[in-house]
Amino acid sequence: MSLYVLGGVVMDTRPFNADTFDRSASADLVEKAVMGGLKPSEFMGEGEDTLTITGQLLPFKTGGLAEFDVLDEMRRTGARNPVMRGDGKRLGTYAITQLSERHGQLMKNGVGFTVQYSVSLRKTQADYDGGAIIAALISIFDSLR
């Protein structure tokens, strides 16, 4: 069981701890001008959907820096990854838009005894390669022979 799964990174109580989760979602509405009344609005679709996950790592006790480096690589490459909550609910496909870290109680090697982190994500369209999916399905069926 885990708290959250972001792509291949599992956020649990150790080694990569998540303390808080925030979600903000909106809907896009457009208003139409009319005389003498309330402006009617029309639903235009889903608006922006963002997530923020924060936590604290204890690199010298439980680790977690390797997972943080994976998240940083996801941010640098603009990777789109599925996000799943610990109860199994799939939240959608998200890309990391911002990553921050704050090292406290610095040790001899410059790494903090505690590392506060924050991961900000924005919902995106799934980045599926249809050809790769078909090739994977074919290889599964070939292995069943």
Dump pLDDT digits (tens) for 94-129. 999 999 999 999 999 999 999 999 999 999 988 665
User: Residues 70-82: what's their mean pLDDT?
Assistant: 94
Dump pLDDT digits (tens) for 26-53. 999 999 888 888 888 999 999 999 999 9
pLDDT over 70 (residue 79): yes
| Domains of the chain, CATH where assigned | 4-27+44-143 (2.40.30)
Element (H, E) at 82: strand 80-85
DSSP class per residue in 27-52: EEEEE---SSSPPPEEEEEEEEEEEE
pLDDT grade for 140, boundaries at 50, 70 and 90: low
What pTM was estimated for this model as a whole? 0.79
- How far apart (Å, rounded) are the C-alpha atoms in residues 11 and 21? 11
- How far apart (Å, rounded) are the C-alpha atoms in residues 136 and 115? 39
